[in-house]
Amino acid sequence: MVDTYASTLDFAARVSPGYALPPEADLDRMLLKASELIDYVTFGRAQRAWDRAGAPGSGEDPAQVRVYLSQATCDQVEFWLEAGEEHDVLGLPKGSSLQGGRVQVQRIPGQLGQRAKRTLLTAGLMWAGVPYG
């Protein structure tokens, strides 16, 4: 099971002011799903870093690791607010064509938002062989 890396208060502080905050129950669900995605794209390094942060002898700054994970989680939810959460499952529309009287829509698979990716890269959680791996 993955921890939720950000709270609704973290999200309210991080999100761009142009977005309306979803109801708290929806936001809690989205933050958990974003945390699961963050852990998935980091091949489990995010949860291990979250669990180890500040452990004696780890040499890690617990506050910084958790800040990066919180920020990346909030960034991903913000991406979903912009692109639509359903696109994480269906994928973003890439193009369409008319074939046999039907419109066929090509889709790009669901993805990690660019801000979340940049935050994880800065934290060193996207690649093997990094301090939090």
Condensed to tens digits (0 to 9), the pLDDT of residues 48-82 reads: 888 887 565 555 566 788 999 999 999 999 999 98
Other C-beta atoms closer than 10 Å to the C-beta of 36 total 18
| pTM assigned to the model | 0.77
Predicted local confidence at residue 60, as pLDDT:
59
Q: Quote the pLDDT of residue 65.
A: 85
Nearest partner of 38 among 50, 26, 27, judged by Cα: 50
- Which of 9-18, 37-46, 108-117 has the weakest average pLDDT? 108-117
**Closest-CA residue to 46 (of 59, 56, 34):** 34
pLDDT reading at 130 higher than 50: no
Predicted pLDDT at 92: 55
- Count how many Cα atoms sit within 13 Å of the Cα of residue 57 in the half-sphere of its side chain: 0
Residue in 109, 129, 125 with CA at minimum distance from that of residue 117: 125
10 Å CB burial of residue 38 (0-12, 13-18, 19+) is: buried
- Kindly tell me if the per-residue pLDDT of 7 is higher than 50: yes
